[in-house]
A and B are shown apart, each in its own frame.
Chain A
Amino acid sequence: MAEQALIVEVDRICTRFGSLSVHENVSLDVRQGEIFALVGGSGCGKSTLLREIILLQRPLSGSIKVFGQEVLELNDEAALPLRRRWGVMFERGALFSSLTVLENVALPLREHTKLDSGLIEELAALKIALTGLPASAGAKYPNELSGGMRKRAALARALALEPELVFLDEPTAGLDPFSASGFDELVKNLKESLGLTIMMVTHDLDLLWRVADRVAVLGENRVLGIGTMEELSQAEHPIIREYFHGARGRAAWEQAWKQK
C-alpha cells in the first residue's frame, strides 16, 4: 500500500489571520484511493486548510501540491484544468437557489463540456440517482429540500464532472443519525465503485470509524497525529486522547468494535 501515488501534498503551511496564528508548519499527504479525514476542535483551522487546498484562500507560506502540481502559484485560468479534476461539497450545500436540483447538477456539465442537452440531463439525472435522492427531487428547488437531501444534491453536483478527488466539508453535520449513517454508506460506496480519493473535514466520530482510512488531528496550530483510527486511539497526546476517549468518542469506538 505504500506505493500509492500522492494526490494532495501539503508541506509546511503557515497561515495567520492578523496576529492570530492558525497553522504553523502543517504538513500532510493524501494518497490515491483513500478516504482521508481532517479532524480537530472548533477553530483549529480544518476548514481553512481545506479552503487553501481548493484555492479559495492563500496561506502565508508553504507549498500545496494537488495531483503533483503546485497550486499556490496558479492564477484562475491556469487553475481551471485542475479545478475540473476535483469536486467540492460545501458544508451547507451551497446549491444555487435559483436553479432546480437537476439544473444545479447539470450546470458544471453545461459549462465545461460540449455535450448535447439531452445527454447532459441524462448524466445529471444519473448523478442524482447515484447519490440516493428520490426521483422527485430533481425538479425541486434547493429550499424545498430537507438538509440531508440538500447534502446529497450537493454531492451529486460535486460528482458531475467525474472528479478523481472529492472534498467534503462536514458531510454529516446537521443530519440526523439515520441520514448520517446513510451518508457514510453512500460515501463508501461511491469511493469503491468510482475509485475516488476523498478528503473530508468532519466532527463525526461514527463517520471516522466507519469510513476513514486515515485521519489527521489538527490542534495547537499543527498536526498532532496522523494514522488510522486504531493508531490514533492509542496515541499519547492529551488532546488526541481527549478527542477520542471523551464520552462520545468512547461510544463511537465501542460501536465500531461491535460491528467488527
Chain B
Amino acid sequence: MTHATSQGEIEVVEADGVIRCRGAWVLQFADHLQQQLKAHRWPADRDILLDCKQLEAMDTSGAWLLYRLQREGERAACRLTVQGLQPAFTALLGMIAARSADVDVIQGVQRGMLERLGRRFVGHMNQVVLMLSFVGEAALSALRLVKQPSRIRIRPLLHNIQSAGFEALPIVGLLSFLMGVVVSYQGAEQLARYGASIFVADLVGLSMLREMSPLLTAIIVAGRSGSAFTAQIGTMKVTEEIDAMRTIGIAPMDFLVLPKILALIIAVPLLTVYADILGIFGGMVMAKTQLGINYSDFMDRLEDAVRLSSYLVGLGKALVFAVIVGVVGCFQGFQVSGSADSVGRQTTVSVVQSIFLVIVMDAVFSVIFSWLNI
C-alpha cells in the first residue's frame, strides 16, 4: 500500500457495457469515488464488464466502494463480470463481501428515539430502587455500629469532620454574614416605612435561624464535601480499590460511607450554629448602619422574638440535610462505572441531586411545621 499518485475513478463506456476502474481506490480519493458512483445510473438488465486492469491500489475503503458498486449493479438486475483484478485485491474484496452483512447490522442497531427514552426512564427508576437499597444497607451498617461502638473508625471520622466541617468555617462564615446583611438590608427599608425598624431583629433572627443558615450550610457542604465524596469513592471504584477492600474483608460501608455520613451529622449542625451567629451579626451590623439600631437594642429585641423552638427547628433541619448530602454523595460515588467520564458525570449528578433534595425537604418541613404550628 504505497502512497498512490493517480486519483481513483471510474470510466463508463455506455455503448460496450464496460465500467473501467482506474487509479488508486484508497481513502484519500474515497470522496471523489463516492460522488462518481452516486452519479452513475445503471441501465436495467444488461451484461456489464467491470474492468479492473488499471486498478493501481486498493485499501479497505476502496474495496468497500467497489463492493458497493457491484451490489448496486446487481440490485439494478445487471449481470456483472469482474475482470483483471489483482489477486491481492480479490482477496480483500472477498474478505469484505464476507463481512458485509455485519456492516449493515452494525449501522442498523443505532438506538431510536423511543428506545433511548425508554432506557432513560428505566435507568431513572433503577436509580430510585438502588438509592433506597443503599439507604437500607447504610442503615443496617449503622445499627451494627450502634451495637458495637468500638467498630466506629475514629481516624476517617475525624479526618472527615476536619475537611467537611472545620475547613468549611471561613466560607460558611463569610456567606452567612453576607446573607444576614442582605436580609437586614431588604427588610430595613420596608420596616422603616411603617416605623417598625426594630422588628428587623425578628426578621433577621427568625429567617437566619429557621431557614437561611441550615439551607446555606447544606448547599455549601453539598458543593464542597458531597462532590468530594462522590469523586473519591468513584475514583476508588474505577481503580478497583473498592473491590480490593471487599476481598481483604473490610466493608466499604463501614470504612468509607458511615464515617462520612457520621462526620456530616456532627459537622453540619455545628456549622449551622456558627452560621446562625455570623448571620445575625451581619444583620446587626446592617441594622446599625442603615437604621441606627444599637447592638444592645437589637439583642434585647432578639431575645423576645426568637424562641428556643426556632433554633431547634433549624438544627433539626441541618441534621436531616446532613444525612441527605452524605447519603447522596456516597451513593453517587458507588454509581460510577468504569470510566473517567463517569466520575465527572456522577459528581455533577451528586451535587445537583443533593441540593435538589435539600430544597424539596425544606419545603416539606415548612408544610409540616405549619400544620404543627411550630
Are B339 and A114 touching (Cβ within 8 A)?
Answer: no
Cβ < 8 Å to A, chain B residues 70-124:
88, 91-92, 95-96, 99-100, 102-107, 109-111
CA distance in complex: A11, B27 (Å):
32
Q: Return B65 CB to nearest CB of chain A, in Å.
A: 8
Q: Return A105 CB to nearest CB of chain B, in Å.
A: 10
B133 lies within 8 A of chain A by Cβ: no
0/1 interface trace, chain A 139-169, chain B, CB 8 Å (1 if under): 1001100000000000000010110100000
Q: Which of B56-64, B188-196, B297-305 forms part of the interface with chain A?
A: B56-64
B337 lies within 8 A of chain A by Cβ: yes
Inter-chain contacts of A136 with B (CB < 8 A): 105, 109
CA distance in complex: A119, B61 (Å):
9
CA distance in complex: A142, B92 (Å):
28
CA distance in complex: A125, B342 (Å):
26
* Also in contact, A125 and B106, with CB within 8 A (given A119-B34, A161-B27, A194-B92): yes
Q: Which residue of B lies closest to A124 (CB)?
A: B106
B31 lies within 8 A of chain A by Cβ: yes
B292 lies within 8 A of chain A by Cβ: no
CA distance in complex: A97, B104 (Å):
24
B340 lies within 8 A of chain A by Cβ: yes
CA distance in complex: A59, B77 (Å):
60
Interface size on B, residues (CB 8 A): 32
0/1 interface trace, chain A 99-128, chain B, CB 8 Å (1 if under): 000100000000001111001011101111
Q: Which residue of A lies closest to B34 (CB)?
A: A119
CA distance in complex: A193, B107 (Å):
24
Binding site for B on A (CB under 8 A): 97-98, 102, 113-116, 119, 121-123, 125-130, 135-139, 142-143, 159, 161-162, 164, 189, 192-196
- A to B CB contacts below 8 Å, 23 in the list: A113-B27, A113-B31, A115-B30, A115-B34, A119-B34, A121-B107, A123-B27, A126-B99, A126-B103, A128-B106, A130-B99, A135-B106, A136-B105, A139-B109, A139-B110, A139-B111, A161-B27, A162-B26, A162-B59, A189-B95, A193-B91, A194-B59, A194-B92
